[in-house]
Amino acid sequence: MTPMHTWLARLGWAAATLIALPAAADVGLATIPATETDGPVTVYYPTDEPPQPVLRGPFELPVRVDASPRNGNGRLVVLSHGSGGSPWVHSDLAIALVDAGFVVAMPEHRGDNYRDRSRPGPESWKQRPAEVSRAIDAIAADPRFGPRLDTTRVGVWGMSAGGHTALSLAGGRWSPAGFKRHCDQHIADDFPACVGLATQLRGNWLDGVKKTIALAVLGAVFDDDTAQVHHDPRIAAVVSGVPLAADFDMASLAQPRVPLAIISVGRDAWLAPRFHSDRVLAACRTCDHLADLPTAGHGALLSPPPPGLTGLVAELLDDPPGFDRSVLREVDRKVVRWFEGHLLDADPAPTARAGEGSVQRGSL
């Protein structure tokens, strides 16, 4: 595997510091074991048993492992992690959803997670939507959760590569060759998206060599123009946060098949917004711009964030100076309310954004 194949990966864990999450009562934590085809599915769910905090990586989670579930609101939300991600860096959102009565499932995407970074990029993007569908199957078949849920209306939330997964599940159509064409045209302006952690531009004479090598590798690896689509009729509402989106046919996202909301940031050093989230917002006539964080970077939605990142990954994921993470509590509340509105209502309708195509910035 060449270094270029590892772009958008290697989100390592520096476990020297423990991060304590905000207290939340009555949250159970369980794992549906891996199968021959899929990784494990982590489940957060309502319970009446008090928490007994547990360590997962560098995080202390206020949950009760394998507690007896209780009935919640009867709905499931699946969270799709970013490249190299884990079930723990989205615990704040998961707990907020459980507090509202949802069951939350987090599938571990094969070859593109914190334990296995061997197959990021298009190979992972192709399989991720089906992994979400099989996670829904696993939850529905589990005797602890299946009888308590109506899986005919499921929500999906995803970040970064998980945001790409979310756009696919909302009806988006993409191809690896579409990504190559984007990088052919915008290699200098979107270099971190095209190359990931393999290298970076430094403003010196080597930049031209780096761009030439990057385009050669992309041309050899991203040559498949087959349209990638995945439809699961159970998925009824989708939130896509800071998505990788440059490879999508934007016509397929003009009117998504389900309600779709976008979370964007203004200082994304990894996925330049004008090529990714802003393009979706400009194309989508019915999308909700659920939250915009103008001073946030790409890693803002990692909540809690992994501590101790270094090198290029820190440059791309760490919060920019001046970003106040306390706003994420309100972002989580917006996500919860949005899913409540679209999954619990009998017949929710997509809400047209003000301006239909204009990008509104500067507010939650």
Cα 120 off chain centre by: 14
pLDDT at residue number 311: 86
Q: Does some domain include residue 360?
A: no
Q: Does some domain include residue 363?
A: no
Q: Give pTM, 2 decimals.
A: 0.86
Q: What mean pLDDT is predicted for residues 337-345?
A: 94
User: Which residues have C-beta within 8 Å of that of residue 338, sequence separation ≥ 6?
Assistant: 237, 239, 261, 288, 290
Neighbours of 124 (CB within 10 A): 23
Full residue range of the structural domain in which residue 259 is found: 3-341
| Backbone CA torsion sign across 166, 8, 32, 43 | negative
Look up residue 12 and give its amino acid: G
Cα(242)–Cα(61) distance, rounded to whole angstroms? 25
Q: Does some domain include residue 125?
A: yes
Q: Does some domain include residue 347?
A: no
Residue 82, helix vs strand vs coil:
coil
Reported as a single tens digit per residue, the pLDDT across 302-335 is: 999 888 888 878 888 899 999 999 999 999 999 9
CATH number at residue 64: 3.40.50.1820
Q: Does some domain include residue 162?
A: yes
Reported as a single tens digit per residue, the pLDDT across 3-54 is: 333 333 333 333 323 334 444 449 999 999 999 889 999 999 999 999 998 9
Q: Does some domain include residue 350?
A: no
Reported as a single tens digit per residue, the pLDDT across 71-84 is: 999 999 999 999 88
Q: Does some domain include residue 253?
A: yes
Report the b/e string of 184-196 with b at 16+ CB within 10 A.
eebbeebbbbbbb
Reported as a single tens digit per residue, the pLDDT across 295-306 is: 999 999 999 988
Number of domains in the chain: 1
Q: Does some domain include residue 352?
A: no
